[in-house]
Amino acid sequence: MNDNSSAQYFHRGNLPPINLIYSQAELDVTPWYYSVEMEHGKLTPGQNFSNVGLTRTLLQRTDLREKDCLDIGTMEGVIPTLMKRRDASRVVAYDRPSALTPRVEAVKDRFGVDFEFVSGVPLSELPARLDHQTFDVVVMSGVLYPLFSPLSGLATARGLLRNGGIMILETAAAIDDAPAMHWNSNFRFLGEAYFFPSLACLDYFVRFLRMEIIDCAYLESQCVDGLRTARVALSCRAIDHPKGPAADTFLQGTFHTETDVAEHLKWENCNSVKRDVQYDAPTSRMLRHQSIGLRALRRLTHNLGMIGMSNYIDCLLAGQRSAEYWQRRDCESIDLYKYCTRAKHQHVSERDTQLWLKDSS
């Protein structure tokens, strides 16, 4: 690898073989993906991705104690480190390239955590690599939209999650109520994306793969070709059968669809006698029904560092709806489109995107 690759990161001009482990010299010219406190008081020059804060929020609401957890698309191992901090018993971290293996080991050593790093195989081969075992919690953050075949990848991840378990799925998406996959034509979406799923499409994918959405957080992004885009994080519970209208026979499965699904997962392997993983979903949601003056007061107290007062004003003055307000009429899952058009988006601080040694979670 030559030094010109320092401005790139696993792009077309810098594609290491899938099983190549970088030397220290190669790591020295490879940018960090995450901002991590590898030296006291000093962060690595990673990218402070705000969507990490979304995943982190939902992970904090998940009971990981004594749970078997899997992180898909781990990069330098930030999510597995957070999982171990929340007392997960076994954690497996996966990413396709093996190049960052020494860096992952350095993070484990620095933060005093132990997890297994699996790499060198495409996602489709991960179940076999893991002997088709299933997990209590699966995180798939920032992975769906760069996949060449998003539904296939999501089905593979679903096959690694036991029924009653929780999948935290975070992705770029379009705030759109039409069930569509928006292609990244002419590189209109920033990043290494193929498709941006609409919220309606994402909702259907989740239910098609026998999960129900129990929580959501989002950050709205730029408008592209008239499409409002966002980063959306979902907490989904794996269930025995898809929920939806009885008339929707496609959702319930046909010979054709189940034949295709069987190439990626075996439903019987997801069966479990364990209790459902406990999840602490908020009981109410905030709406944006605030006067301009009150919004200004909240902003002023926040800018002055009076975070407690700012949050109090926010909670006191924002309109509230029960959790049932966000549910779809045809099933018990959260209505994503309604949520992302009427709910307040998640606040993510810069610290939420970083990994510090003394942070508790």
Q: Write the DSSP string, 95-107.
A: -S--TTHHHHHHH
**Is the predicted pLDDT of residue 287 greater than 90, yes or no?**
no
DSSP assigned state of 45: S
How confident is the model over 276-296, as a mean pLDDT?
64
**Is the predicted pLDDT of residue 248 greater than 90, yes or no?**
no
How confident is the model over 251-259, as a mean pLDDT?
86
pLDDT for position 264? 95
pLDDT for position 316? 52
On whether the CB atoms of residues 207 and 242 are closer than 8 A, the answer is yes
pLDDT for position 4? 43
Distance (Å, whole) CA 174 – CA 153: 19
Percent of the chain with pLDDT over 70: 88
Residue 272: pLDDT band (50, 70, 90) is very high
pTM score, whole prediction:
0.87
β-bridge pairing 135-141 and 181-183: unpaired
pLDDT for position 244? 85
How confident is the model over 81-94, as a mean pLDDT?
97
pLDDT for position 286? 39
First to last CA, the chain: 36
* CA max distance for the chain: 61
How confident is the model over 137-145, as a mean pLDDT?
97
Distance (Å, whole) CA 295 – CA 319: 13
pLDDT for position 314? 58
**Is the predicted pLDDT of residue 72 greater than 60, yes or no?**
yes
Residue 282: pLDDT band (50, 70, 90) is confident
β-bridge pairing 354-355 and 35-36: parallel
Distance (Å, whole) CA 34 – CA 142: 13
Residue 289: pLDDT band (50, 70, 90) is very low
Fold topology of 51-270: Rossmann fold (3.40.50)
* Angle of the 78-85 helix axis to the 101-111 helix axis, nearest 10: 30
Burial of 161 (0-12, 13-18, 19+ CB in 10 A): buried
Q: Which residue has the tokens 């054709």?
A: 256
**Is the predicted pLDDT of residue 220 greater than 70, yes or no?**
yes
pLDDT for position 76? 96
- Average pLDDT of the chain? 88
Report the range out of 157-166, 212-221, 237-246 with the highest average pLDDT.
Answer: 157-166
How confident is the model over 274-282, as a mean pLDDT?
93
pLDDT for position 114? 96
Q: Where are the domains of the chain?
A: 3-31, 51-270, 284-355
**Is the predicted pLDDT of residue 292 greater than 90, yes or no?**
no
pLDDT for position 290? 41
Residue 293: pLDDT band (50, 70, 90) is low
Residue 2: pLDDT band (50, 70, 90) is very low
Burial of 26 (0-12, 13-18, 19+ CB in 10 A): middle
Residue 283: pLDDT band (50, 70, 90) is low
pLDDT for position 11? 63
On whether the CB atoms of residues 43 and 29 are closer than 8 A, the answer is no
Report the range out of 57-66, 294-303, 312-321 with the highest average pLDDT.
Answer: 57-66
Q: Which of 181, 130, 120, 195 is nearest to 160 (CA)?
A: 130
- 196-212 pLDDT, tens per residue? 999 999 999 999 999 99
pLDDT for position 313? 66
Residue 306: pLDDT band (50, 70, 90) is confident
**Is the predicted pLDDT of residue 117 greater than 50, yes or no?**
yes
Sign of the CA dihedral 107, 109, 110, 113? Answer: positive
* Token pair in block for residue 44: 């690595």
How confident is the model over 50-77, as a mean pLDDT?
96
Residue 63: pLDDT band (50, 70, 90) is very high
**Is the predicted pLDDT of residue 284 greater than 60, yes or no?**
no
